[in-house]
Amino acid sequence: MRTEDPVVVTGAARDVGHASYTTTLLVDQSPEQAFDAINDVRGWWSEDIEGRTDIVGQEFTFRGKEIHYSRIQVTELTPGESVAWLVVDNYINFVEDQSEWKGTEIRFAICKNGDGAEIRFSHLGLVPAYECFDVCSNAWSFFINDSLRSLIAAGVGQPMAKERRDGE
């Protein structure tokens, strides 16, 4: 069954002995188009991304206003198949344990599905026991299921706007 809107299934998946956040969506575009959109991080996650997101070994930073900061290393890029990132450093202003995201892996597994593609997004290590799990999983749900889907399907996502800082 192909429709204009993807089928979305959200929940927790088993990984390395604990539940991590995952969501899956189907799109009518090719795995290559999905891969290209995923790597346009400024187009679906945040306009406030600094650094290269399209070269293995490079690092980029994500800023979500004064609430969230992450330094992320690109660890895998296989065109039309997968993207993986390692969270090297992180700060979330509403949690006590600032190590919750550090060392976690953000992974996109892409495969052909009929005439389109299936994207399985996982944030491995983002577990329900973490203080940020509810807020972070809700944010991922929006950015993956709404913003990334829109970028893939229509060429326009809904990323967070870049926050102006002093001196800009």
Domain ranges of the chain: 8-154
Class of domain 8-154: alpha beta
DSSP lists the bridge partners of residue 87 as 72
What the block records as the tokens of 37 is 């959109």
Mean pLDDT of 82-93: 97
Whether 20 has a pLDDT exceeding 80, the answer reads: yes
pTM of the model: 0.86
Q: For the segment 21-42, what is each residue's pLDDT rounded down to a tens digit?
A: 999 999 999 999 999 999 999 9
Residue with tokens 């577990």: 127
Tell me the residue length of the chain. 168
